[in-house]
Amino acid sequence: GENVEQHPSTLSVQEGDSAVIKCTYSDSASNYFPWYKQELGKRPQLIIDIRSNVGEKKDQRIAVTLNKTAKHFSLHITETQPEDSAVYFCAARGGGADGLTFGKGTHLIIQP
């Protein structure tokens, strides 16, 4: 089955700087790669996703890039703000599978 690795596990950045979180996946047939933000005690919230026929997608301060050859995808957050502090999960949907395989998560800390 699919295996998703996520790095780093913790990321601390100064407010206003950029943050990058990276994930790799194992199943070359995977075709859907969402990112979720989860605040303490709350449900995961989809923030951006990308499909295998696209290399990059942007939504305001958030962008995701996908390298199918290398089987990795990354989340980029620019101009970080205190409200960006949360745990971020990447996920992948493998070819033939319906549910998602999640990475272990990155605790993003925005330092004022």
Residues near 80 by beta carbon (within 8 Å), at least 6 away in sequence = 13, 14, 15, 16, 17, 18, 19, 61, 108, 110
**Using the rule CB under 8 A, is 46 a contact of another protein?**
yes
CB of 17 to another protein, least distance (A): 26
- Tell how far CA 84 is from the center of its chain: 13
**Using the rule CB under 8 A, is 49 a contact of another protein?**
yes
**Using the rule CB under 8 A, is 102 a contact of another protein?**
yes
**Using the rule CB under 8 A, is 52 a contact of another protein?**
no
Tell whether the torsion through CA atoms of 87, 69, 64 and 36 is positive or negative. Answer: negative
**Using the rule CB under 8 A, is 22 a contact of another protein?**
no
> Where on the chain is the footprint of another protein (CB under 8 A)?
1, 32, 34, 42-46, 49, 89, 91, 98-105
